[in-house]
Structure 1
Amino acid sequence: MDLVSVVVKAGSPLFIGLGKVRRGVHYSRNHLPSWMVRGAVGAAILSEFCDFLEGKDREVTCSSCHKADGCLYNEFSRTNPVFSDATPIHEECGVAAVPAPSFAFKCKKCGWHGSLLDKFIDALKSGKELWRANIACPMMQEQRCGLVSLEPAEGWLCPKCGESVPVESLRVAMTAINRARGIAEEGMLFS
């Protein structure tokens, strides 16, 4: 099996929708799913090499095409390629980030992030209730932070150095304002 690594750089902002709309806000993903990468690669191959798609010869199908022997699309289909998600890259390490596990935490005060799974397991084994287990930031003594400063780590982590990998995102909201009343108005056109 051959491994092909591709770096995707967006020339303009992308909206990769989740399909969820809450209160008029369309939520976006923070990565490209594998099915989307596969579709983009297939579409690029077809648009580049296939005469049938371009409308040059509508009578030709893939099986009767004169390029069938060296057709990159047919070769691509025969090999059954496997795609993985396109995830952010940690610039310093040059490594693709991985999703943060559900048991990863970060400290809002000092910036520490890591796993506290071993402390949770010890607390459960000893029969303590989790809120009494004194699970706090490991840097508590040096940085003067504690339990209240911990929050679940979300997003992406670099597997090489463990640093958090930020994903740039921008939310644009447009609301129609009724000029006469000076409030937001539903069903109005923007002007």
Structure 2
Amino acid sequence: AFTILCDVLMIFSHQIMTGGRDMLEPLVYTPDSSLQSELLSFILDHVFIDQDDDNNNGQQDDEASKIEALHKRRNLLAAFCKLIVYTVVEMNTAADIFKQYMKYYNDYGDIIKETMSKTRQIDKIQCAKTLILSLQQLFNEMIQENGYNFDRSSPTFSGIKELARRFALTFGLDQLKTREAIAMLHK
């Protein structure tokens, strides 16, 4: 049902009017913030889970069913990321996806990296703001857990630094092309 909802949102998005089809404007549906939040919550609850948490009625999963479950979760994430890339949902909703990049790199790294790449192509400044938002969210979560006197050598803080390093690498090495986005990061 989630994938179908994402497909329907894509079909009736602002993209429907491309190619001089302005008469289809009454059919355009833009999801409100409540629906966007529900879609994101579904992804966070059903995609970003440990393999052990995703078992069938408490039974021991065999390898084939684990692979199939991962494939289903990847399809759910890809459907939501498509909504982000085609600006059906706001780009800042991707912050909760981007902050999972390191933790779930093996399972979803390719999807998240491609989403970052596409959002950067759409709007470098907004993409940079979204990346910063994801780092801020992780840092605030760490502060809530450990307080302001956290250990700078802790695995959590090191993970945030490593994620920031990887985000920086996604901008590439051409400083002239990324100058504006990088300058925004430092504001």
Q: What TM-score bracket applies, with the shorter chain setting the length?
A: under 0.3
Q: TM-score, normalised by structure 2?
A: 0.23
Work out which structure has the larger RCO, using CA pairs closer than 8 Å and 6 or more positions apart in sequence: 2
More helix by share: 2
Q: TM-score, normalised by structure 1?
A: 0.22
More strand by share: 1
Bigger CA radius of gyration: 1
